[in-house]
Amino acid sequence: MAPNGGAMTRLIGQCTYSARLHNKKRKEQERQRKIRLVAALSCTVAAFMASLFLEAPEPIPMHTSILTGQRWLSELLDGHPDRLRDQLGLAKHVFFRLLFELQAYSGLVDTKYVTAMEKLGTFLHWVHTGSSSRMLQERFQRSAETIHISIYSILHRLVGPFYQKHSHLPPDETPYEIKSNPKLYPYFCNCRGAINSSHFHAWVLSAEMGRYWNRKGFIGQNVLAARNFAMLFCVYFEWLGGGVHQTPQSSSMPVSAILSFQRASTILQTPGSPCVMYSSLHTGVFGTISKNGALPKTPQELFNLRHSQARNVIERIFGIAKRRFAIFDATPEYPIETQAMLVPAVAAVALHNFIRIHDVTDEACDFGENTLHREGSGSLHNFTSEEP
């Protein structure tokens, strides 16, 4: 019994000693924590007291020009018409008509410090000149946040009801441009427009560049659009990945094709949908006038030539849109979702169609307007090799 009692006594002694050491260590840690806390509070109080005796640098106003954005717009609207076209890309009456539609039907309103006119002017100047955010801040004497809000305020309205109003399929009847041209009528009497794809520059993060690298050799987004022969966009498709080299239609259908609708109520869903018919080229035959002036020799060659002339409208219109809106060459550093909204809002439908309809003096569409009527007349019905 004695040995067992001694072992128990030693065990109790060891436990008591361990508890004393633990309490001593805990008290020392608590003391160190209080010391650090007091030191931190002392430094904070000392820094605060020192700041009371230091002179804080006064902020220097940055946007102090007397020519504010609103005054600059008023100067443009009251000045020479060409100044407004050079800075905003449209005529004076078109600007006011666009402003009225956005205010009346899309909910564009004045805010406390920025008018609806200045918001629209900021957006139009941005897309027409491709100016950076800093340049817009200097031009309109606004902060970066105000410029950002103005741009998005107009952009979201252009892709809303305004887009739906100015984007629709052409009527199910032979276009005037086809009916009035003996080289195309009646052989293309069922044509309602033309489709083609184009690449627009895009800015993306480095991790996603591989997806957007296209066959043209730059980072961009791929766009497919349908146009009528009045130089107006009708239907718009987009692939955010610019590296997509093949469009949805099969390889036997050319990207640039003449399309027709079977009935007026038809809605174009995809390029391969049953409601769309493609008028294809004759493969393996000559289809254009050569550099030495050689004319087509067979009806198939003449058909290819007239086919190319008819669908040339869609090839011209992408060039017109990119020439009118320099933003597509400037590659704005905005999210890809915002850049995807720019094409339908600016180039594909909203602004281009609106300007095309309301400005008969628009110079951007002057070149190539009469391409269908330039070469000599020819008929597939009474074709001869001497007079195509």
Give yes or no: residues 183 and 264 share one domain: yes
Assigned domain for 146 exists: yes
pLDDT of residue 205: 87
Give yes or no: residues 173 and 108 share one domain: no
Of the three residues 158, 182, 208, the one that is the final residue of a domain is 158
- State the angle between helix axes of 69-78 and 81-88 in degrees (0 to 180), rounded to the nearest 10: 130
Give yes or no: residues 302 and 199 share one domain: yes
213 backbone dihedrals φ, ψ, rounded to 5°: -75, 120
Give yes or no: residues 114 and 205 share one domain: no
Assigned domain for 311 exists: yes
Of the three residues 105, 131, 158, the one that is the final residue of a domain is 158
pLDDT of residue 247: 38
CA–CA gap between residue 372 and residue 230 (Å, rounded):
12
State the amino acid at position 116 in one-letter form. A
Expressed as residue numbers, the domain containing 298 is 169-335
Give yes or no: residues 179 and 308 share one domain: yes
Assigned domain for 194 exists: yes
Bridge-based pairing state of the strands 233-239 and 257-261 = unpaired
pLDDT of residue 63: 86
Instruction: Report which secondary-structure segment, H or E, holds 261.
Output: strand 257-261
Convert 77-118 into a string of H (helix), E (strand) and C (coil). HHCCHHHHHHHHCCCHHHHHHHHHHHHHHCCCCCCCCCCHHH
Of the three residues 315, 335, 355, the one that is the final residue of a domain is 335
State the amino acid at position 220 in one-letter form. G
Give yes or no: residues 110 and 183 share one domain: no
CA–CA gap between residue 294 and residue 310 (Å, rounded):
20
Give yes or no: residues 132 and 177 share one domain: no
Assigned domain for 93 exists: yes
Compute how many other C-beta atoms are within 10 angstroms of the C-beta atom of residue 73: 23
Number of structural domains in the chain: 2
**Residue 6 neighbours by CB under 8 Å, 6+ apart:** none
Give yes or no: residues 271 and 201 share one domain: yes
386 backbone dihedrals φ, ψ, rounded to 5°: -75, -35
Give yes or no: residues 248 and 154 share one domain: no
Assigned domain for 131 exists: yes
Give yes or no: residues 215 and 318 share one domain: yes
Assigned domain for 372 exists: no
Q: CB burial class (10 A; 0-12, 13-18, 19+) of residue 300?
A: middle
Assigned domain for 13 exists: no
pLDDT of residue 129: 92
Assigned domain for 364 exists: no
Give yes or no: residues 174 and 282 share one domain: yes
Q: Going along 113-246, which residue ranges are E strands?
A: 193-201, 220-227, 233-239
Instruction: Please list, residue by residue across 319-343, b when 16 or more beta carbons sit within 10 angstroms of its beta carbon and e when fewer do.
Output: ebbbebbebbebbbebebebbbbbb
Give yes or no: residues 114 and 181 share one domain: no
From first to last of its 388 residues, the chain has per-residue pLDDT tens of 445 666 777 777 777 777 778 788 888 888 888 888 888 888 888 888 777 777 667 888 888 889 999 999 999 999 999 999 999 989 999 999 999 999 999 999 999 999 999 999 999 999 999 999 999 999 999 999 999 999 999 999 998 888 888 877 777 788 888 888 888 888 788 787 777 778 888 888 888 888 888 888 888 888 878 778 778 877 666 655 555 443 333 333 333 444 444 333 222 233 333 334 344 555 555 545 544 556 777 887 788 788 777 777 667 778 888 888 888 887 888 888 888 888 887 755 678 888 888 887 776 655 444 433 333 333 333 333 333 3
